[in-house]
A and B are shown apart, each in its own frame.
Chain A
Amino acid sequence: MAALLLALAAVPLIQSFSQSYEIATRQVEQETIAKVAEAALNKLMSGRFDDLNAAVVKVAVPFEIQTPAGPVSAKIDLLGSPAQGTGTFVISGIPYRVQVAVARMFAGHHGVLTPAATAKALTFSYAAPANTMGLPPPPPPGLVVATYSCPDDFLRILVKVTSGRGDREMRLITCRGDMRR
């Protein structure tokens, strides 16, 4: 009788333990995926613009992640115009594969002011008041707005991170402008 009662209590205990362990493992793995993706994107946002826009020769972007077990170093190899790249982290025995895909969301006209060249350029609109110092500005000119086509490329950076088993994936995306001008 006692053994039966104990078994009744132990069966759900084993089930709960295994479920809890599985969830905790998955949580750690997914948190690591998110952190690796974020770290990779942050590194790419702070690197040289040309390495992303036109990596004519292979560029290795080194970076490291701090883990409870110590720092983990890796590098992302970028090549192409715009750049495509890969890198692999191994954290606690699990490999995390990083894939980088850069694309020109807006292609700059680079000084060639033809309709074809400016068609894909990032175009800003604005309405600036007349520069009349000391006088009140003129009334708003209806909906007349000026536009400006940017000469530089505006990039979209996509980072995809997959974990060791390949069944977990995260896609992070952001944009980067050429701030050198």
Chain B
Amino acid sequence: MKPFAAARHGFALVTLLLFMMVLLTFVGLLHFSSRGQKGVHTRLFDQTKALMAARAAVELAVYKYRMLPAEFYKVNRLLHAPMTSTAERDFFSAAWMNDFSGPSAAMPGGFVSPARVIIDEMRRETGDPIDLGVDGCELVTRKESGYVKDFLRVKAWGSCNGERKTLEQLVEVEVTHGP
């Protein structure tokens, strides 16, 4: 074989090998990128379900306030009173918040919280391990010149298959304040 022809063959082979390496790198990147995307759909579904569970928890907390506004104000006043002991604070706070937590174990007296009923229904209808709860339910009072405005701040959470979403809602409440 002439030296010129051998050099040409060698050049063609090196070009081909380079081309193959580029192709294989591209294939590898595409393959691993596709594999990484596979779990994304399930996570998106679970996150949406968790968000809706949190929304149900907010709805429950706001509805309880709508039904028992005077009692909520009494509890809230007590929680912020300087003379209240820690035991009293814990008791009244827990008594209000018990409806929003849903432990699976039976509670004393066979008490089944509304949150537990909701969780069971959600799990039955969707087949997913949905959970929800309310972390905080407090009154926020804004005082500006000429008016006093009250808001109910609810901080709730929902979870599904390990995906957890927290939702915080500020609801304006109508209260007539004394002078």
- Chain A residues with CB under 8 Å of chain B are 2, 5-6, 8-10, 12-13, 16-17, 19-20, 23-24, 26-27, 30-31, 34, 37-38, 41, 45, 105-106, 122-129, 131, 136-137, 139-140, 143, 145, 148, 150, 154, 156, 158, 170-179, 181
- The complex places the Cα of A181 from the Cα of B87 at a distance, in Å, of 34
**Could you say which residues of chain A place their CB within 8 Å of the CB of B81?**
136-137
The answer to whether B91 and A140 have CB atoms under 8 Å apart is yes
Q: Do A156 and B20 have beta carbons less than 8 Å apart? A: no
Closest Cβ of chain A: how far from B116's Cβ, in Å? Answer: 12
Residues of B within 8 A of A145 (CB): 95, 98
Please state if A13 and B23 are interface contacts (CB–CB under 8 Å): yes
A33 nearest in chain B by CB position: B45
Please determine whether A127 and B30 come into contact, CB atoms closer than 8 angstroms.
no
B145 at interface (Cβ–Cβ under 8 A)? no
Contacting pair B88 A140 (CB below 8 A): yes
- B44 on interface, CB distance cutoff 8 Å: yes
- Whether A5 and B37, one on each chain, are in contact in the complex, defined by CB atoms closer than 8 angstroms, is no
Complexed CA–CA distance, A120 and B133 (Å): 22
Query: Given the complex, which residues of A lie within 8 Å of B41, measured CB to CB?
Result: 26-27, 30-31
Closest 5 A-B residue pairs measured CB to CB?
A177-B63, A127-B95, A140-B91, A175-B56, A9-B23
Q: Does B16 contact A20, Cβ atoms closer than 8 Å?
A: no
How many A-B pairs with Cβ below 8 Å? 162
- A37: nearest residue on chain B (CB-CB)? B48
Query: Quick check: is B129 within 8 A (CB to CB) of the other chain?
Result: no
Interface contacts beyond A26-B41, A127-B91: sample of 6 additional A-B pairs, CB < 8 Å, sorted by A: A12-B24, A19-B31, A31-B41, A129-B75, A171-B128, A172-B49
Contact B48 A30 (CB under 8 A): no
Q: Are B92 and A129 in contact (CB under 8 A)?
A: yes
B37 to chain A: closest CB distance in Å? Answer: 5
Tell me, in angstroms, the Cα distance from A127 to B41 when the chains sit together. 44
Q: Smallest Cβ distance from B12 to chain A, in angstroms?
A: 7
- With A124-B68, A173-B52 already in contact, the answer to whether A17 and B45 are too (CB < 8 A) is no
Contact with A along B84-124 (1 / 0, CB 8 A): 10011001100110110000000011010010011001100
CB contact under 8 A between A9 and B27, given known A2-B16, A124-B99: yes
Q: Are A31 and B59 in contact (CB under 8 A)?
A: no
Instruction: List chain B residues, Cβ under 8 A from A23.
Output: 34, 37-38
> With A16-B31, A37-B48, A176-B59 known to touch, is A5 a contact of B16 (CB < 8 Å)?
yes
From residue B49, how far is it (CB to closest CB) to chain A in Å? 6
Which residues of B23-77 are within 8 A (CB) of A?
Answer: 23-24, 26-27, 30-31, 33-34, 37-38, 40-41, 44-45, 48-49, 51-53, 55-56, 59-60, 62-64, 66-68, 70-71, 74-75
B20 near A9: Cβ-Cβ < 8 Å: yes
A45 touches B55 (CB 8 A): yes
